[in-house]
Structure formats: C-alpha cells, structure tokens
Amino acid sequence: MAKYIDPHIHLVSRTTDDYEAMQKAGIVATIEPAFWLGQPRTEVGSFKDYFSTLVGWERFRASQFGIVHYCTMGLNSKEANNIALAEQVMELLPLYVGKEGVVAIGEIGYDDQTEAEDRFYREQLELAKDVDLPVLIHTPHRDKKKGTYRSMDVAEEHGMDPGWVIVDHNNEETVKEVLDRGYWAGFTIYPHTKMGSERMVEIVKQYGPERIIVNSAADWGISDPLAVPKTADLMRKMGIPEEHVELVTYRNALTAFSLSGQMDENDWLSAPPIDQTKKLGGNSVLRGGQVPRVEGPSDRVEN
C-alpha cells in the first residue's frame, strides 16, 4: 500500500475518526505547524500550553492511531501583530525549538504584511539559523504574489539557503518563481477554495515532481484530512507516474524536513505495531468498555 506524509495539518483540531481514516488511507507521518487557533490568544501562557501540546499530548494521541507526529515551532504572522505578546512568545520559543520531533521553524511569514509581522518573521529566520532548522513559510492569502516574493527576498537577505525553506500555500501564480529560486513549494489542497486536487494534477504535469509538496492544512475550518491520499489517487488516474506521485505526496516532504535531523523514515518503518491496550491503558482515547484496536494476534482485553 502507498505511504503518504501530510506535512501540514493541524491535528489538535481533528477527531479520532480523522486519525483512523488517515491511517487507513496510508498516512504514516504528519507535521503539525504551530499556528493560530481561530480565537486570538491574549496570554503568553496560552502559547506555552499550545506548544507543549504539540510536543506532548497530540504526539501521543497520534501514536495511538499508528501515525508519527512531528511539528514546527513558531510565532504565526497574525498574532505577531500583538507586539507585547509576540515579544514574550519569542522568549518562549528557544525552550521548544530543540525538542524531539521539531522539524522546522514555522509557520512564519506574512499575513497583512505589517511592520510587526516583518520584524518577527526576521527574528525567527535568525532563530532558525541559530538552531539549524529548516523554515516553513506561510504565504499570505491576500496580496499573495507580492507577499510570497517578499517572503523569499527577506529569507535571502538573512542568508537562508532556499533548499532549507518550504514556501507553503502556493498556487499557479506563485509556483514558477518559488521553484526557479530553488525553494520547496508546498501546495495546500482545500475542498472548496484555493487549490483543488484537479489543479494540483495540472501543476505536477506542468512543473514535474521536483521540490513540490502536497498537504491538506486541515484545521478547524472546512478542510479534508485525506486531501493528500485523495490527490495522489487522482494523479494516478490522470496518468502521472507512480514515482512522481510518491515524490510529491511522501518523499519530498521527508527530504525537506529531515534536514532537521529530527525526522527519519525508520520512525514509522520500524515502529512497533499499534497497540492501544499497551499505550493507552484503557482510559485516554478509549472510553470504558471499548475494545482497543490491536494489530496482530492478541487476546481481547476484558479489563
């Protein structure tokens, strides 16, 4: 069965049904970029607990469904505009960027392209260089083309190697420049807006599979946690060769984010089989009386 990586998905907002469906569809690893939560945070402690969740509870939760969970750490561009709070978050970040499974600084970049966003984007590029992590750039939804180019200009101004930068949320208008300049180009497949799977197929046909990475960015909005495997299926149906499908839905993400030294194919290839009884002890995601899922032969747990 084909294996997939969803290198951009906000799992704290997803249900256990999603996790089960993702695992069944072949997703073996996910990357959860630190982002905003819809409701703006007003205290630095909210960031602290959110960051801790990304490296703690959510990673544990994912493991119960046979999915290896990584994350990126960063101050998102929207909340960078609350300068007093943003300064405190910047002090907090060094505590998290060195933790296991943190594969990049991100998602950072521009939203409204304000001065404050620019300041904290630059500070975080410097942080990434300090700790030898790749960067995941969130490109703005409004004034996208200029915002994307500006993100790359500033990254280069700070001496970032484009091979260490994943520029996300691309479309037909931005992809050429991003690839030409040597960056990784992320594409988010949304069910109704932005990129649909059909458009994605056309882009891969036109530009080839190199340095292109597909993701779902599924979060608390209308979005599809199966976008990566569904897009892969459509690519196959439209005649895109299997090795190209593999590159854009698995291998490229692995190559880019494993620059961090924190992501290794063996993390899932040699992982022990899922056993909810062992790991959960019957009371974290399983409720009383539910029969845990066990791969391979094992007695039914009665207790």
Partner 1 sequence: MNQHLEIRNFLIQALEANSEEKSIQWLKQKAQKIQESNSSTPLFLAFSQASRFFSKDLLILSEQEKIQVDQLVSAFEPAHWNRLQAARSFLLLNLPQEKESWFSAMNQLFETADMHEQHALFAALPILPFQEDLLTRAIDGCRTNMTLIFDAVALNNPYPASYFPEANWNQLVLKAVFMQRPLYRIQGLEERRNSALAEIASDFAHERWAAGRNVMPELWRLVAPFMNDQYLADLEKVLNSTDDLELAGGVLTLYESDFAPAKALLADYPDLLAQVESGQITWQKIGKEYQDSRV
Q: What is the contact surface with partner 1 in residues (CB under 8 A)?
A: 48, 51-52, 55-57, 59-60, 92, 94-96, 98-101, 261, 277-284, 288-289, 299, 301-303
Helix (H, G, I), strand (E, B) or coil at 215: strand
Residue number, 48 or 293, with CB nearest to partner 1: 48
Residue number, 145 or 278, with CB nearest to partner 1: 278
Residue number, 128 or 212, with CB nearest to partner 1: 128
CB 138 within 8 A of CB 105: no
Residue number, 1 or 270, with CB nearest to partner 1: 270
| Neighbour-count burial of 241, counting CB atoms closer than 10 A to its CB (0-12 exposed, 13-18 middle, 19+ buried) | exposed
- Least Å distance, CB 131 to partner 1, is 9
- Least Å distance, CB 281 to partner 1, is 3
**Residue among 174, 163, 227 nearest 201 (CA):** 227
Q: How far is CA 178 from the centre of its chain?
A: 19
- Least Å distance, CB 295 to partner 1, is 15
Instruction: Give helix 115-130 / helix 144-157 axis angle, nearest 10°.
Output: 40
Residue number, 237 or 287, with CB nearest to partner 1: 287
Helices (H), the chain: 16-25, 44-55, 57-63, 83-92, 94-97, 115-130, 144-157, 175-180, 197-207, 227-237, 242-246, 252-257, 266-269, 276-280
Rounded Cα gap, residues 41 and 18, in angstroms = 26
CB 47 within 8 A of CB 254: no
From residue 24, give the alpha-carbon distance in Å to each of 65, 194, 244: 10, 26, 22
Tokens found for residue 240: 């895109």
- Least Å distance, CB 76 to partner 1, is 19
- Least Å distance, CB 132 to partner 1, is 11
- Least Å distance, CB 253 to partner 1, is 21
- Least Å distance, CB 256 to partner 1, is 19
Residue number, 101 or 191, with CB nearest to partner 1: 101
> What is the DSSP annotation of 224-251?
-TTHHHHHHHHHHHTT--HHHHHIIIII
Residue number, 2 or 92, with CB nearest to partner 1: 92
